[in-house]
Amino acid sequence: MKRLVFAIIIVLLVASLPLRAVCLALPDCTMSKEELRLFSQAREQERILDESGFLYADPGLESYLEQVASKLEGGGDLISLLGPGGLRAAISGYTRKFEAEADLVGLKMAAKAGYDIVEALRLFEYLRKEIEINDTREPFFFATHPKLQGRIENCKRFIKNHPSLLMSGVKNTREFLARTQELVLENAKLDLKAGRFDTARTGIEKYLAISPNDARAHFVLGEIFRQRARRGDIEKALRSYETAISLAPFYPEPYEAMGLIYYKEGRMGLARVSFETCLALSTNLPDRAYIESYVRKWRQ
């Protein structure tokens, strides 16, 4: 009887926790929600480095971390998968010394394969710039690694001390950009969704350097300006939409976006023309219901 009552008390205590409580306040586990987010972010960045050959890959640990990442994505129970000790091991996997060595091994391998190893520094520069622009902390997973600047210095020193490896290696810049340009455009759209306007703009400008006559990119650039809405952005947005229209006159989205700007500015004549044009150009606009409601008001 005593045991039953005690069990009921424990059940009531647990049930009274707020629905949103993250039950990580378990003994020996101090990973907060923020740390879990950083851990996921670090996994993404680790994947970039891994695929470029600049990360020492311990196959056993790699597979272990893949399981962890998929469990995180699936909303699974991290604690039951890892246990407190396993969690610590997963986070603090690499040591500083091995990581520095791994970078240099990767550079040697790249040079041996005929690639221009000076290009390797760009990867770290991109990471550093992204951290600065987005004002993020260095990914949690890097907390036990040499800081990013340290890795950049390490690679620079290696390149300086091995001039024999500095042949006119293959860069494949044009081919690489041609094959990845759609990815650059899609990535810019995702950055826009996430409100990372400056990163999105960098991505779109990179895309436009490859494909300057792509109306979609000019439209996305216009959206970046319109949604960012800093001083002078609306004029820039209108110019980008006009460029998109000049490249693709039957592209409906720029008309819709221009219509929104004119509508909010009270320039109803221009707004109406823009909205009616975009409705005429497309039957399956995602925001069609809104545009029709604006036009209906004028017709009434």
Partner 1 sequence: MNKGILLIALLLTACAPWAQVGGPYLSSSSHFSIVLPQKWMMLKTSEYLLISKDGPFLQYILVQERHKSKPFEHTRKVLADAMLPQEAAQVIVDELSSDRSLQGFKLIQNGPADINGHHGFRLFFTNRNADGVVFKTMYYGFLEGEWFFAIRYTAVERYYFQKEVKTFEKMLHTFNPPEADERSIPRPLGR
Where do contacts with partner 1 occur on this chain (CB under 8 A)?
1-2, 5-6, 8-9, 12-13, 15-16, 18-19, 40, 73-76, 193-197, 227, 229, 260, 263-264, 286-287, 289-290, 293
Shortest spacing between CB 268 and partner 1, in angstroms: 14
Shortest spacing between CB 87 and partner 1, in angstroms: 19
| Identity of the residue, 8 or 178, whose beta carbon is nearer to partner 1 in the bound complex | 8
Shortest spacing between CB 37 and partner 1, in angstroms: 9
Structure tokens at 245: 């229209």
Shortest spacing between CB 34 and partner 1, in angstroms: 11
| Identity of the residue, 19 or 160, whose beta carbon is nearer to partner 1 in the bound complex | 19
Return all residues near 102 (Cβ < 8 A) that are at least 6 apart. Answer: 54, 55, 56, 94
| Identity of the residue, 15 or 160, whose beta carbon is nearer to partner 1 in the bound complex | 15
| Identity of the residue, 170 or 194, whose beta carbon is nearer to partner 1 in the bound complex | 194
Own/partner pairs for 244-249, CB < 8 Å, 24+ apart? Answer: 244/215, 244/216, 244/218, 244/219, 245/215, 247/213, 247/214, 247/215, 247/218, 248/215
Shortest spacing between CB 74 and partner 1, in angstroms: 5
CB-facing half-sphere around the CA of 25: CA atoms within 13 A:
4
**53 by DSSP, 3-state: which?**
coil
| Identity of the residue, 289 or 300, whose beta carbon is nearer to partner 1 in the bound complex | 289
Shortest spacing between CB 218 and partner 1, in angstroms: 19
| Identity of the residue, 39 or 54, whose beta carbon is nearer to partner 1 in the bound complex | 39
Own/partner pairs for 210-216, CB < 8 Å, 24+ apart? Answer: 210/177, 210/178, 210/181, 210/184, 211/181, 213/247, 214/185, 214/247, 215/243, 215/244, 215/245, 215/247, 215/248, 215/251, 215/254, 216/185, 216/244, 216/251
| Rounded Cα gap, residues 23 and 243, in angstroms | 52
**Among the listed residues 58, 167, 165, 168, the one whose alpha carbon sits nearest the alpha carbon of residue 108:** 165
β-strand partners of 115 = 170
Shortest spacing between CB 222 and partner 1, in angstroms: 14
| Identity of the residue, 85 or 195, whose beta carbon is nearer to partner 1 in the bound complex | 195
Q: From the CA atom positions of the chain, what is the Rg in Å? A: 26
| Identity of the residue, 101 or 186, whose beta carbon is nearer to partner 1 in the bound complex | 186
Shortest spacing between CB 253 and partner 1, in angstroms: 13
